[in-house]
DNA sequence: ATTTTTGCGCAAATTTAAGTTGCATCCTTG
DNA sequence: CAAGGATGCAACTTAAATTTGCGCAAAAAT
């Protein structure tokens, strides 16, 4: 997931029908500062980022990552590959959420093995139950 | 959706088992800089933010907005209402990444339940085994 | 129990880069 | 063509991020 702030800022500002000057006024800064943001020469700090998002009526997420896409411009395949990349980036998030780690990490200890093949327990339980019944007969 | 970078950085870093020093080394900066980020005295620019996210193996979104919650500190009800309050764009994001919803959503099917409480199976197996032995005697 | 190490935060100094000032360019419109 | 609006670029200023240097706990080692 790339940060596409510069592009996104330009798009959203124009969608709102604002000039760099008008946006700058609302932020109490110069229009050149806005220009630099849009050309990627600099980027505002997080607080300003929040203000900008408020003015443009979007969340900071949208402003930074541009989940809003121009209709028709993104193909399904693009979305799929985007999803794959997202998956990569989020790998570690899963480390803290065991269920997902299963898919990625090699099995290094018993617990991970269990987490990965817990369904085997069903078979085990079934077998134990079956044997139990056999003996009871 | 507030920006909770400072807190999030501390949490994720510790989850990774890194000290401020170790994280700083990977970023080629001093440990004091990291300290300031975590105490909110300053915040890195977007590029660094991306690097940090990479090192911690999370997306920048997670780093900034903390979809992760400190265990035990937020009640389930809080999580739900927090989820409800998320803006349109964020909902969108969730739609494209269904698994992430799991963290927030109530348990809706058996598999999720199992993933969450698989350890119960140990108790089950133990009990079954015990009963088996009782009967065999 | 004392020393050493590790991890962290705070204050002052420094450096990086965001922001400003000033100028040039490109459209649009009368 | 002239005038006004909108934007980008270069040099300078200033804000704030980062470093340097110090102190202080808590954990680990002797």
Residue numbers of chain A with a pLDDT score lower than 50: 68-118
Question: What is the radius of gyration, based on Cα positions, of chain A?
Answer: 26
CA neighbours closer than 13 Å in the CB half-sphere of residue A29: 13
Domain boundary among B45, B65, B85: B65
CA A134 to chain CA centroid, nearest Å: 53
Domains identified in chain B, total number: 2
Domain span at residue A130 reads 102-137
Tell me, yes or no, whether B6 and B53 share the same domain.
yes
Q: What per-residue confidence (pLDDT) applies to B119?
A: 53
Query: CA nearest A101: which of A86, A89, A91, A111?
Result: A91
CA neighbours closer than 13 Å in the CB half-sphere of residue A90: 18
Tell me, yes or no, whether B6 and B61 share the same domain.
yes
CB atoms inside a 10 Å sphere around CB A55: 16
Domain assignment present for A80? no
Burial A12-45 (b: 16+ CB within 10 A, else e): bbeeeebebeebbeeeeeeeebbeebbeeeebbe
Tell me, yes or no, whether B12 and B61 share the same domain.
yes
- Cβ–Cβ < 8 Å for B56, B16: yes
Residues in chain A: 137
Tell me, yes or no, whether A13 and A59 share the same domain.
yes
Q: Does A16 touch chain B (CB under 8 A)?
A: no
Helix-strand-coil split of chain B, %, nearest 5? 70, 0, 30
Which strand D bases fall within 7 angstroms of a protein CB?
A: 5-10, 16-21
Domain boundary among B41, B65, B89: B65
Domain assignment present for A71? no
Tell me, yes or no, whether B106 and B56 share the same domain.
no
Contacts of A59 in chain B (CB under 8 A): 1, 87, 89-90
Q: What per-residue confidence (pLDDT) applies to B52?
A: 94
Domain assignment present for B117? yes
Query: CA nearest A9: which of A69, A66, A73, A82?
Result: A66
**A60 and B64 in contact by Cβ < 8 A?**
yes
Splitting chain B (137 residues) into consecutive groups of 10 residues, what average pLDDT does each group show? 86 92 94 94 91 92 67 32 32 31 30 45 65 70
Domain assignment present for A86? no
Domain assignment present for B44? yes
**B64 and A83 in contact by Cβ < 8 A?**
no
Domain assignment present for A54? yes
Please report, for the domain that includes residue B6, its CATH number: 1.10.260.40
Q: Which two tokens stand for residue B56?
A: 């911690």
Q: What is the pLDDT of residues A58-71, one digit of tens each?
A: 989 889 987 633 33
Tell me, yes or no, whether B61 and B8 share the same domain.
yes
Question: CA(B23)–C1'(C6) in Å?
Answer: 15
Please say whether the dihedral angle defined by the alpha carbons of residues A56, A60, A65 and A70, taken in this order, is positive or negative. Answer: negative
Domain assignment present for B83? no
Q: What per-residue confidence (pLDDT) applies to B14?
A: 93
- Cβ–Cβ < 8 Å for A49, A12: no
Tell me, yes or no, whether A11 and A59 share the same domain.
yes
Domain assignment present for A38? yes
Tell me, yes or no, whether A53 and A108 share the same domain.
no
Q: What is the DSSP code (8-state) at residue A56?
A: T
Q: What is the pLDDT of residues B101-132, one digit of tens each?
A: 222 223 333 333 444 444 555 666 667 667 67
DSSP codes joined into one string, B9-71: HHHHHHHTT--HHHHHHHTTS-HHHHHHHHHTS----HHHHHHHHHHTTS-HHHHHH--S--T
């Amino acid at each position: 997931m790339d940060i596409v702030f510069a592009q996104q800022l330009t798009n959203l500002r124009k969608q709102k029908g604002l000039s760099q000057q008008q946006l700058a006024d609302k932020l109490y800064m110069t229009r050149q500062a806005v220009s630099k943001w849009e050309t990627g020469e600099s980027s505002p700090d997080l607080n300003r980022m929040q203000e900008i998002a408020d003015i443009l009526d979007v969340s900071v997420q949208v402003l930074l990552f541009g989940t809003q896409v121009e209709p028709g411009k993104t193909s399904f395949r693009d979305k799929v590959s985007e999803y794959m990349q997202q998956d990569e980036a989020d790998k570690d998030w899963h480390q803290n959420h065991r269920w997902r780690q299963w898919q990625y990490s090699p099995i290094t200890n018993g617990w991970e093995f269990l987490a990965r093949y817990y369904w085997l327990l069903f078979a085990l339980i079934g077998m134990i139950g079956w044997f139990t019944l056999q003996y009871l007969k």
